[in-house]
Amino acid sequence: TQLLEQSPQFLSIQEGENLTVYCNSSSVFSSLQWYRQEPGEGPVLLVTVVTGGEVKKLKRLTFQFGDARKDSSLHITAAQPGDTGLYLCAGALSGSARQLTFGSGTQLTVLP
Amino acid sequence: NAGVMQNPRHLVRRRGQEARLRCSPMKGHSHVYWYRQLPEEGLKFMVYLQKENIIDESGMPKERFSAEFPKEGPSILRIQQVVRGDSAAYFCASSPQGAATEAFFGQGTRLTVV
């Protein structure tokens, strides 16, 4: 069983549409991160959220950390083909900053 | 300012051979983490090392896998007697302090066992 459940697993949308990706757990995380991974490359960090209820914006991307620090969401406004990629959430469990627990990822395809 | 360097990028091994994966951390980073990514899955933690020390190997298979981070040179992930199930992408990350949340990832080594 996955400690971090991501949904949806696959998402294919048209350019200009909005989308939300979810990352849920029954465990509490001291922080949660979102990465984007291109084919053949390593994950690249997009954002880290630390405080329950925190909202961070990165251009058209909005990240939210749940109040209880068990879940997070990534919302993309007006998606573009350049947003295509694998989006991974990852968290550091409370009391364990030495390793990250990753979700299984959401493969996003934005069609022109 | 070079990032985390992994080599080789692609490695093909026959069943039963040994695979050696190398990771040079970013300059100034003395903490290294290894993760494995199976097809269609997220990354799974394997091991966390500081220079000359294994700090956490809770994600490492008990047999055939070993890791080191010597005083000089890159970190090495060694897989002995590889099997088809070892085929995966192996990622290394490094951080300046022992916080995995501050780590930068390399481009990975894609291991294929034939």
pLDDT per position as a tens digit, A18-31:
999 999 999 999 99
Mean residue pLDDT of chain B comes to 94
Confidence grade of residue B99 (pLDDT, cut at 50, 70, 90): confident
- pLDDT exceeds cutoff 60 at B1: no
**Residue at token pair 């994600």:** B59
What residue in A sits closest to B38 (Cα-Cα)?
A: A104
Instruction: Measure B81 CA to nearest chain A CA, in Å.
Output: 25
Mean residue pLDDT of chain A comes to 93
The three-state (H, E, C) secondary structure of A22-36, written as one string: EEECCCCEEEEEEEE
Look at the alpha carbons of A52, A45, A103, B66 in this order and tell me if their dihedral is positive or negative: negative
Q: Which amino acid is at A112?
A: P
* Per-residue pLDDT at A54: 95
Chain A contact present for B112, CB below 8 A = no
CB A70, CB A49: distance < 8 Å:
no
Q: Round to whole Å and give the CA distance between B28 and A53.
A: 34
A104 contacts in chain B (CB < 8 Å) = 40-42
Burial class (CB in 10 A: 0-12, 13-18, 19+), B85: exposed
Helix (H) or strand (E) holding B33: strand B31-37
CB B37, CB B108: distance < 8 Å:
yes
Classified as helix, coil or strand, B51 is coil
Confidence grade of residue B83 (pLDDT, cut at 50, 70, 90): very high
DSSP for residue B41? S
How far is CA A84 from each of CA A111, B9, B106, rounded to the nearest angstrom? 9, 23, 20
In chain B, the N- to C-terminal Cα span, in Å, equals 36
Instruction: Measure A63 CA to nearest chain B CA, in Å.
Output: 16
A43:B105 CB<8 A: yes
Q: Round to whole Å and give the CA distance between B104 and B95.
A: 7
In sequence order, what DSSP letters do the residues of chain A get, joined into one string?
--SSEEE-SEEEEETT--EEEEEE-SS-EEEEEEEEE-TTS--EEEEEE-STT-EEEETTEEEEE-TTSSEEEEEESS--GGG-EEEEEEEEETT-TT-PEEP--EEEEEE-
B contact test, residue of A69, A100, A101, A106 with most B CBs within 10 A: A100
Confidence grade of residue A1 (pLDDT, cut at 50, 70, 90): low
Burial class (CB in 10 A: 0-12, 13-18, 19+), B83: exposed
CB B92, CB B4: distance < 8 Å:
yes
* Per-residue pLDDT at A81: 96
A98:B55 CB<8 A: yes
